[in-house]
Amino acid sequence: MIRFDNVHKQYPDGTRAVDGHDFEVEEGTTTVLVGPSGCGKTTTMRLVNRLEEPTEGTIYYDGTDIEDLEATDLRREIGYVIQDIGLFDHMTVGENVATVPELKGWETDRTADRVDELLELMGLPPEEFRDSYPGELSGGQQQRVGVARALAAGPDVMLMDEPFGALDPITREELQDEFLDIQKEIDTTIVFVTHDINEALKMGDKIAVMNEGKIVQYDTPTALLDNPKTKFVEEFIGPDRTLKRLRVLRVEEVMEAEIPDEHAAVVDAFQSDDAVMADGGEIIPVSPSDTAQVALSRCIQAGVEALPVVEDADVVGIVTEAAIRDRQTGPA
């Protein structure tokens, strides 16, 4: 979907913000650019929609050199979300979300339907929020509106520059989880910028770790944790790689579809009216998309060795504490 071919960006003062990028963002995936301040991650993202122009090299958008595309048209095809949201304070929530569809000449009814659809998707009931102004909303609600606006015209690509960075930790975690769920529905290709390795590991299908304008490793979250290729990457990830694996590993990767006899009691307890084990531990199931960290925490809280895995109200398998711990350690 997006391909960088030997891309460089050098400023007049000699600063190399981007130094020889060669990588591809696959369609329908989320690639996270992560690294310390000044590493060139935001510049890299801004090259995609031509808010910055490369000094050398080529960027391809769906097979076309972006230099052959009108910059204004390209930007209207790409959603853009930034940390300070950038909502228009004098416009209602509905008017903010409708901005790009109106610029593209959509019919009024189509735009109104799309606004309501996206507000519902973002957990903002249209009848309650459509006519509100940004100043009347919380920070988390404003950021939801910002995401809705970026999605309004159905972009194939969305750029997100530290979108949750200004929020409190609880709201930030909630929005991350919500956005991961939304991404499954919209199937948009996303380039996501953050300085937080934990956020990168959680949000990314692929992660580009950057330092001094270079991509020093481009890999999946699991591969980064299992095999950091340089000392910088290892130090940037931090010493608690074992704990981080729990946040990356999904229940679907360690669950068993067949329920062993020794764990049948857990499923029976969950399916009973009270879902409480004999020792008083409540059985709270997990979904295939939950992290291993969530599953392990619920096992410990309930005092059980396994939990039912539930999808669409059906038990689809079981996940055991032992299976999680076996996968937790990973390569040394």
H helices of 49-192, in order, are 71-77, 93-97, 99-103, 108-121, 126-129, 139-151, 169-186
Residue 179: exposed, middle, or buried by beta-carbon count in 10 A (0-12, 13-18, 19+)?
buried
- The Cβ of residue 212 has, within 10 Å, a number of other Cβ atoms equal to 14
**pLDDT, tens digit (0-9, with 9 covering 90-100), for 290-323:** 889 899 999 888 888 899 999 888 899 999 999 9
Residue 140's Cα: distance from chain center in Å?
Answer: 16
CATH 3.40.50.300, the chain: domain bounds: 2-239
**pLDDT, tens digit (0-9, with 9 covering 90-100), for 121-150:** 888 999 999 999 999 998 888 888 988 888
Residue 160's Cα: distance from chain center in Å?
Answer: 9
Pairwise pLDDT comparison (112 vs 165), residue with the higher score: 112
Which architecture characterizes domain 2-239 according to CATH? 3-Layer(aba) Sandwich (3.40)
CATH 3.90.1280.20, the chain: domain bounds: 251-329
Instruction: Place 240 in a pLDDT band, splitting at 50, 70 and 90.
Output: confident
Residue 154's Cα: distance from chain center in Å?
Answer: 17
pLDDT value, residue 85: 64
User: CA-CA distance, 205 to 60, in Å (whole number)?
Assistant: 20
pLDDT value, residue 296: 92
Average pLDDT over residues 36-50: 95
State percent of the chain over pLDDT 70.
95
Average pLDDT over residues 58-76: 93
At position 317, the amino acid (one-letter code) is G
**pLDDT, tens digit (0-9, with 9 covering 90-100), for 246-291:** 888 889 989 999 888 888 888 887 877 555 544 456 788 899 988 8
Phi, psi for residue 22 in degrees, rounded to 5: -135, 100
pLDDT value, residue 122: 84
pLDDT for residue 332 is more than 50: no
Which architecture characterizes domain 251-329 according to CATH? Alpha-Beta Complex (3.90)
Average pLDDT over residues 31-49: 95
**pLDDT, tens digit (0-9, with 9 covering 90-100), for 4-28:** 999 999 999 999 999 999 999 999 9
Q: Are 292 and 214 in contact (CB under 8 A)?
A: no
- The Cβ of residue 322 has, within 10 Å, a number of other Cβ atoms equal to 12
Pairwise pLDDT comparison (238 vs 83), residue with the higher score: 238
pLDDT for residue 206 is more than 60: yes
pLDDT value, residue 329: 66
Hey, what's the torsion of the CAs at 298, 302, 307, 308, to 10 degrees? -100
β-strand pairing of 30-34 with 189-194: parallel
pLDDT value, residue 182: 81
**pLDDT, tens digit (0-9, with 9 covering 90-100), for 155-186:** 889 899 988 877 788 888 888 888 888 888 78
Least confident of 186-190, 194-198, 266-270: 266-270
Residue 224's Cα: distance from chain center in Å?
Answer: 17
Beta bridge pairs of residue 214: 211
Nearest to 100 by CA among 114, 85, 90: 114
Instruction: Place 331 in a pLDDT band, splitting at 50, 70 and 90.
Output: low
Beta bridge pairs of residue 213: none
Q: Where are the beta strands (DSSP E) in the chain?
A: 2-10, 16-25, 30-34, 56-61, 64-65, 78-82, 157-161, 189-194, 206-211, 214-219, 306-311, 314-320
- 3-class secondary-structure state, position 135: helix
Q: For residue 235, give every residue at least 6 positions away whose Cβ sits within 8 Å of its Cβ, in sequence order, or none.
A: none
